[in-house]
Structure 1
Amino acid sequence: MKHTLSRRLALRAAALASSTALLLSSLAPLQAQAAEGQLRIAEQFGIVYLLLNVAQDQKLIEKHGKAAGIDIQVEFVKLSGGAAVNDALLSGSIEVAGAGVGPLFTLWDRTRGKQNVRGVASLGNFPYYLVTNNPKVNSIANFTGLDRIALPAVGVSVQSRILQMAAAKKWGDAEFDRLDKLSVALPHPEAAAAIIKGGTEITAHFGNPPFQEQELAGNPQVRVLLKSYDVQGGPSSATVLYATEKFYKDSPKTYKALVAALDEAAQFITANPEKAADTYLRVTHAKTDRDLLLKIIRNPEVQFKTTPQNTLGLGQFMHRVGAIKNKPTSVKDYFFDSPAAQSGN
């Protein structure tokens, strides 16, 4: 069974890489020059993208664009993993990337003095859980060579970076990547299915809402090993939007319409959790239990806002262990200038 899954995982990774390449290739002719009114946004899986779901459902970006005197053609591109999202942004296949703050730091560091990628806005604060269905594992120190930890992208995703932070706290900075060899890249829906079903080599998953809650509800053996907030020292913006300096400078009206739409979406969700849950189900076509979604949206630890919070520590950790060359000293280093972003941390 485990051997079969290993083969399936390898095939899945190859297929994902191939499909991503084909998708980027198909989008490439559209990249020409970033222009006002063109906006392609990469999003991934989970309720952490609810601000985008609401903006899409209510056409809020288009609304704020018209108020500024432009017609904005908005396209949402579904990808999995920060690596694929970053490739899409650098290839010009999208204007705005949606991924974890870890991939943002990676690209901010890599593109300094070139494309100058920076953050646009946070998509909110969400606690991410590392869960396991292995009864022998009670902490990250109990993982063995027989365990596999599923996450969106090994060594790149925010889940991978937070796991590295936890490892550094446990074993020291020199062994920050100790658990990378046990990690495998797998989209959240497939990882959640493996954890709930059990009996595969996937014995842990560092996911996000609603997948982590589905796992806890769907298998009595599943339990939480660590929470991102505990590792990072409090509520944190895990998922963000980011873009190149060219888009920021060449498409100011489109950029401002996007930020305004996100702010309106955040207000809508906070004031209308039930309607927001219905929006998520309608836009994503997910089969998630509605009551479970409402529980997540109403969770006091979940905050829908565009101001980044508690992100700097992760960037400084990545610099300390050599994952990035440049050390961020404030949010102004890696977020574009806007009232919401620049008041963050």
Structure 2
Amino acid sequence: MRSRRALIAGAATAALVLSACGGGGDAEGVTSFDIAVSNASEPYSIPWLVGKDQGLFERRGVTIGEIVPGKGGGTTVRNMLSGDLPIADVGFTSVLESSEAGTPVTVVGGATQSVYGLDFYTLDSNAGVRTINDVRNWAYTNPQSVTQALSYILPRVAGATQEIERTSSGGLGEGVALLEAGSVDVAVVPPSVVAKTDKFRVVVSSADYLKKFQQSVITTTPEFAERNPDTVKAVLAGYQDAVEFIRANPQKAAELYADYIDIDVAAATTIVNKTLQYDNWSAGFDAEAIEQAVEAQRLAMDRADLPFCELFRKTYLPANVPATLPAECGAAQ
């Protein structure tokens, strides 16, 4: 079994090799590169793992080297813009924030469109926190992250009216550490961690309140998309092929994921089955999922005029996926 450390080291080496060969940036004719994935130890990575293992990207004419983990959405956007990682699966709220800051980004495909994997837990021993109404100190990962946006929209949807202090932990692992230290009431404990311990108890199951939510999107720079349209189309088609393969072969997907993050196959099977239950992935655009995520980010940023429609480009989507944007986008492409 390949260790996680070995995979990360291999990713770094491959990135250097691809850079030396001109595999990244905004060059034309790029068909071989690494893929940047936020929090790659979590289910975001599963379609990429499956697509690589089954040769689904290569059948479409592109080669995905390594899955390069990003610490969070903003970090992954910066890695993508550095030139060596031309396409990224990155948190949508981070893309919104990056766009607001003037960063040139284009959303070419959907990715994770549910809130599975973003449940908020407390310590099982914490008898004082049982429901969302008991939460007084809520940890999220980083500013402008999906978890920060959820810390605003979930209490509103649930009708919770208590005053809530929000704490930026700096990452998923750091949030778990704050939780274990008793510094916060709830934090996201990712499925890969929950699978290995029973010391946490879920307090806020995000999917109980939000059926659809655009967690992550497949993103590139406008220049790369314009110069490499066939490559972008091939990546999206391969991603959707992987999603369909997972639906038909969940056990194989679970085995690949278990090997990748070093958990037992039974735990990985549970994770994969839940992703399928929540219709977790699609290369297409889902208007409801996008709208919910934008609303959450507007709450977190305390503004009503957050633009987003011009980020999306439908022209690269496979024909067999939805391509619907929220009504406020009109005919945006």
TM-score class, shorter-chain normalisation, is: 0.7 to 0.9
SS across alignment from 1:298 = helix
| Match of residue 68 from structure 1 | none
Cα distance, 1:321 vs. partner? 5.4
Matched, 1:107 2:91: no
Q: Which of 293, 297, 302 is equivalent to 2:268? A: 293
Q: Classify 1:115/1:157 alpha carbon distance in 2 versus 1 (closer, same or farther; 3 Å).
A: same
Distance across 2 between alignment mates of 1:96 and 1:335: 14
Contact map agreement 1:194 1:202 (CA 8 A) in 2: yes
Q: Which residue of 2 aligns with 1:227?
A: 205
Counterpart of 1:63 in structure 2 is 59
**Gap runs ≥5 in structure 1:** 1-18, 66-70
The Cα shift of 1:323 comes to 5.7
Instruction: Report 1:38-53 matches (<5 A).
Output: 38-43=32-37, 44=39, 45-53=41-49
Partner of 1:319: 298
Classify 1:73/1:295 alpha carbon distance in 2 versus 1 (closer, same or farther; 3 Å).
closer
Deviating more after overlay: 41-50 vs 163-172:
163-172
State the identity as a percent: 19
Contact 1:98 1:242 (C-alpha < 8 Å) held by counterparts:
yes
Distance 1:84 1:324 in 2: 24
Using a 3 Å threshold, how does the CA distance of structure 1 residues 226 and 143 change in structure 2: closer, same or farther?
Answer: closer
Query: Which residue of structure 2 aligns with residue 258 of structure 1?
Result: 235
Does 79-88 or 234-243 show the bigger shift? 234-243
How does 1:206-285 map onto structure 2 within 5 Å?
A: 206-211=188-193, 213-214=194-195, 218-219=198-199, 222-232=200-210, 234-282=211-259, 284=260
Deviation track 1:262-318 (CA, whole Å, cap 9, x = no partner) reads 011011100001111111123x2x222211221222232244432343121221342
More helix by percentage: 1
CA contact (8 A) 1:248 1:255 kept: yes
Q: Is the 8 A contact 2:152 2:296 kept in 1?
A: no
Shift of 1:50: 0.6
Query: Match of 1:157?
Result: 145
TM-superposed CA distance for 1:231, in Å, is 4.0
How far the C-alpha of 1:320 sits from its partner, in A, is 5.3
| Distance in 1 (alpha carbons) for counterparts of 2:98 and 2:299 | 17
Aligned-partner Cα distance in 2 for 1:73–1:290: 25
Contact 2:51 2:239 in 1 (8 A): yes
TM-score, normalising length from structure 1? 0.72
Corresponding residue for residue 128 of structure 2: 136
The runs of 5 or more residues in structure 2 that have no matched partner are 1-8, 327-333
CA apart distance, 1:118? 2.1
Corresponding residue pairs, total: 296
TM-score, normalised to structure 2's length? 0.74
The one-letter code matched in structure 1 to 2:59 is K
Equivalent in the alignment of 1:14 = none
- Supply the AA of the counterpart residue of 1:226: V
Alignment CA distance shift 1:252-1:336 (3 Å): same
Q: Given that residues 270 and 304 in structure 1 are in contact (C-alpha distance below 8 angstroms), is that contact kept between their aligned partners in structure 2?
A: no
Rounded Cα–Cα distance in structure 1 between residues aligned with 2:64 and 2:48: 15
The corresponding residue for 1:9 is none
Between the aligned partners of 2:32 and 2:86, the Cα distance in structure 1 is: 8
The match for 1:121 is 110
Aligned to 1:5: none
CA distance in 1, matches of 2:76, 2:70: 6
Report what 2:329 is aligned to.
none
Q: What CA distance in whole angstroms lies between the structure 1 residues aligned with 2:281 and 2:73?
A: 21
Task: Report what 2:50 is aligned to.
Answer: 54
Q: RMSD of the alignment, in Å?
A: 3.4
> Relative to structure 2, which stretch is displaced further, 266-275 or 333-342?
333-342
- 2:154 is matched with which residue? 166
- SS of structure 2 residue aligned to 1:78: strand
